[in-house]
A and B are shown apart, each in its own frame.
Chain A
Amino acid sequence: MTVEARPSGGRRRAGRAGGRSRAGRAALNGAGLLVFLFAVFPVFWMVMTAFKTDEDINADVPLPVPVHWTLGHFRKVISGQGLEFGLFHFFLNSAIVALATVVVSALVGLLAAYAVARTRFRGRAAFLVMLIIVQMVPLEALLLPLMLNAQRLQLLNSLTGVIIVYIGSSLGFSILMLRGFVAAVPRQLEEAAALDGASPRTVFWRITFPLVAPGLVATGIFSFVTAWNEFVIAFAFLKDQQTYLLPLTLSYHFGRTQVEWGSIMAASTLFTIPVMIFFLIVQRRMVSGLVAGAVKG
């Protein structure tokens, strides 16, 4: 997004620069700086607190940066203070759940996205409307029936149960987003390959799939992040520490009478880093994906 934003912004500025005063430009930059600070400050504060000693955290005057830097909180969190397992165990649980969700919803989603983008069939509009509706129903509202069903099927307290629910909740979004990417693949390419005698399967795997792959990655990262961040279902389904996901370990530390801010900020930082990295990877596709996929329906 940022890369695309620049050329037109630059051109416009060049065109108007003559008419605008230096004070006007300074005001714009000042406003930009304010927005930047507003956006970044909480994250900055979280990370800085994680590196402060308890003494610095409880200092009478809040310190912008630690006086005494420490990795102590990170060490405590990673070793799993107060929990049966270390952070790595929960990291792995979260990664398994998010990856399984991504793989299934991407595969199933690609099939449906292909059908929606490439063919006209009776009930297509109804199918699309169903996807949009499904995307809007909050999991909090469905928690009750989902829990009762999971209980009957012995899927409470298991990662499998959570994965199944996440697949259901991320599939609609995956299809809507993938649909845009499939539609962007020129039909002529497929037709040309077919004319050259390639079988439908070959056409799909050799022509369509490589071209959709970047969209598949972007969509997958989106479902990954959603599953990674989800809290309600995980909280209601998983009671055994062995099955905890990262958000649950955060809430575990948070639920105590005396919140250890250093530790919780360290845990929160570690929890946030993967999401930040993924967002950076897909940031350019974010707008086109969200606007073309989710918003365009």
Chain B
Amino acid sequence: MTPTVQAPGRALPGPAAGRRPRPGPRRATGRARFRAGPYLLIAPTVVIIGVLILYPIGQLFWMSFHKIGSREARGAAPAENVGWDNFRTVLGDGFFWKVLVNTVVSAAAMVALTLVLGTLVGLLLNRLGRKMSLLVSSGALLAWATPGISAAIVYKWLFTPGGGLIPWFLELLPDGLAGSGWDDYNWFGSRGTTYVVLVLCVVWQSFPFIAVSVLAGLKSLPGELYEAARVDGAGPWRTFWQITFPLLRPVFLVLTVLSIIWDFKVFTQLYFLAGGTANRDSFNLAMYAYSAAVAFPAKYGLGGAIALILTVILLVFTGFYVRVLVRQGEVA
């Protein structure tokens, strides 16, 4: 709330101190204060993003209302406007809902696990001694820096039947504890277990960012509050929920929305873990949109509808994110 009030206040010095060493009338006459400078500076960006992102989104929109095969895409035949038919086909297909469930459930698991683990590690880093903190954060950096492809390949190797470490280890455990038959169990044969590995892999890569952001937030908090809490005899659980969490709520909000957006569109890791697009059972929305784009025979209109649905879902989350930022006075 306060930041919203502050934002315009902070903005005020802008024009006043705006005697930047830029050409142009320094003292414009109150009314038409149009200065070309900033617009020239952002023009290349607007052109690039317009051509490479906004125009394709427009095309996606157009395509999703037309029937487009490879002939229409080449321009050899005019595309027929089919109205909402593509959307009806996609949404009327039980498969879409299966894909949606895959996407939502896995993203929810990833977001929850990443946030909990990341926050715990952030709190831990804040309490650890100098050397231990350096050790842990260096390790986390390693996980964070691993490219998605490499991460997926390593996790696939760890879970590969007949050679992978995890099946061997599970087989080693007493049967009463872990069951048996793990040695030849194919983790990537069914979508449930594929997603278990996927969630693990994504959480492994993304908890360090949360941990580091939470740590940065923790360092900005006043120590006196914690002193007071300790004097009052509050345990760590109460201290977290009554002091840390409320104070860091904006940080958590942003991290949650960002995680949702990122985990909703996981592609590379799933592509490698599931072994390409052969196993449709394990599709999520990003994978579905991708497979529709490269499918043969081409049904580009249908593919466009799927991609547009994914884009719209992400835009809803993005809109929420932007609102949070605006309310915190970050965008003004």
State the A residues within 8 Å of B (CB): 1-2, 4-6, 8-10, 12-13, 16, 19, 28-29, 31-33, 35-40, 42-43, 45-46, 49, 57-58, 61-62, 108-109, 111-112, 114-116, 118-121, 124-125, 127-134, 136-138, 140-149, 164-165, 167-169, 171-172, 175, 187, 190-191, 193-194, 198-200, 203-204, 225, 228-229, 231-232, 236, 247, 250-251, 254-255, 259, 261, 264-265, 268-269, 271-272, 275-276, 278-280, 283, 286-287, 290-291, 295-297
Not counting A45-B158, A140-B290, A141-B307, a sample of 4 additional A-B residue pairs whose C-beta atoms are within 8 angstroms of each other reads A5-B219, A146-B52, A148-B59, A232-B268
Complexed CA–CA distance, A287 and B215 (Å): 10
Count of chain B residues near A, Cβ 8 A: 114
Bound CA span A232–B277, Å: 13
Contact among A49, A108, A132 with B48 in the assembled complex (CB-CB below 8 Å): A108
Tell whether, in the assembled complex, residue B133 and residue A168 are in contact, meaning their CB atoms are under 8 Å apart: no
22 A-B residue pairs with Cβ-Cβ distance under 8 Å, sorted by A, are A2-B134, A8-B219, A38-B204, A40-B139, A45-B165, A119-B38, A131-B49, A134-B53, A137-B57, A138-B286, A142-B53, A144-B307, A145-B63, A149-B59, A191-B19, A229-B147, A231-B271, A232-B267, A250-B150, A261-B163, A268-B154, A295-B258
> In whole angstroms, what is the CA distance A147 to B42 when docked?
27
Q: Which residue of B lies closest to A6 (CB)?
A: B130
Partner of A164, one of B39, B52, B230: B52
Given known pairs A40-B143, A136-B318, the reply for A290 and B209 (CB within 8 Å) is yes
A-contacting residues, B252-270, CB 8 Å? 254-255, 258, 261, 265, 267-268
Q: Which residues of A contact B46 (CB under 8 A)?
A: 127
Contacts of A290 in B (CB 8 A): 209, 213
User: For the complex, is B23 an interface residue (Cβ under 8 Å from A)?
Assistant: yes
Contact residues in B for A145 (Cβ distance below 8 Å)? 55-57, 59-60, 63, 304
Nearest CB of chain B from residue A277's CB, rounded to whole Å: 9
* Contact yes or no, B56 A146, CB < 8 A: yes
Find chain B residues with CB under 8 A from A109 CB.
45
The residues of A that contact B48 with a CB separation of less than 8 Å are: 108, 167-168, 171
Contact of B129 with A13 in the complex, beta carbons under 8 Å: yes
Q: Is B125 an interface residue (CB 8 A)?
A: yes
Contacting residues, chain A, for B321 (C-beta < 8 A): 132, 136
The reply to whether A43 and B146 contact each other, CB–CB distance below 8 Å, is: yes
Chain B hits for A138, CB < 8 A: 265, 267, 286, 289, 310-311, 314
On whether A133 and B289 interact (CB within 8 A), knowing A43-B143, A142-B56, the answer reads: no
Q: Is B153 an interface residue (CB 8 A)?
A: yes
Query: Which residues of the other chain, A, contact B208 by a CB distance below 8 angstroms?
Result: 39
- A283 smallest CB distance to B (angstroms): 6
Among A138, A146, A149, the one with the most B-chain Cβ atoms within 10 Å of its Cβ is: A138
With a cutoff of 8 Å between Cβ atoms, the chain A residues found around residue B5 in the complex are none
Q: Are A62 and B315 in contact (CB under 8 A)?
A: no
**Is the contact region of chain B dominated by helix, strand, or loop, or is it mixed?**
helix
What is the CA–CA distance of A44 and B112 in the complex, to the nearest angstrom? 26
Q: Which of B63, B143, B268, B289 contacts A143 (CB 8 A)?
A: B289
Which residues of chain B come closer than 8 Å to A279, judged between CB atoms? 141, 144-145
Instruction: Tell me the nearest residue of chain A to B227, going by C-beta.
Output: A15
The answer to the question of B173 belonging to the interface, with a C-beta cut-off of 8 Å to chain A, is no
Query: Shortest distance in angstroms between A151's beta carbon and chain B's nearest beta carbon?
Result: 8
Residues of B within 8 A of A6 (CB): 130, 133-134
CB distance from B59 to the nearest CB of A (A): 4
Asked if A114 and B144 make an inter-chain contact with CB atoms under 8 angstroms apart, the answer reads no
Tell me, in angstroms, the Cα distance from A251 to B274 when the chains sit together.
13
Find residues 309-328 in chain B having any chain A CB closer than 8 Å to their own CB.
310-311, 314-315, 317-318, 321-322, 325
- CB within 8 A of B143: which of A39, A171, A236? A39
Q: Give the contacting residue for B35; candidates A121, A149, A271; CB below 8 A.
A: A121
Query: Nearest Cβ distance between residue A101 and chain B, in whole angstroms?
Result: 12
Asked whether A9 lies within 8 Å of B20 as measured between CB atoms, the reply is no
Q: Does B140 lie within 8 Å of A232, measured CB to CB?
A: no
Any A CB within 8 A of the CB of B76: no
Give the complex CA separation of A272 and B216 in angstroms: 27
* Chain A residues whose C-beta falls within 8 Å of the C-beta of B133 in the assembled complex: 2, 5-6, 9, 32
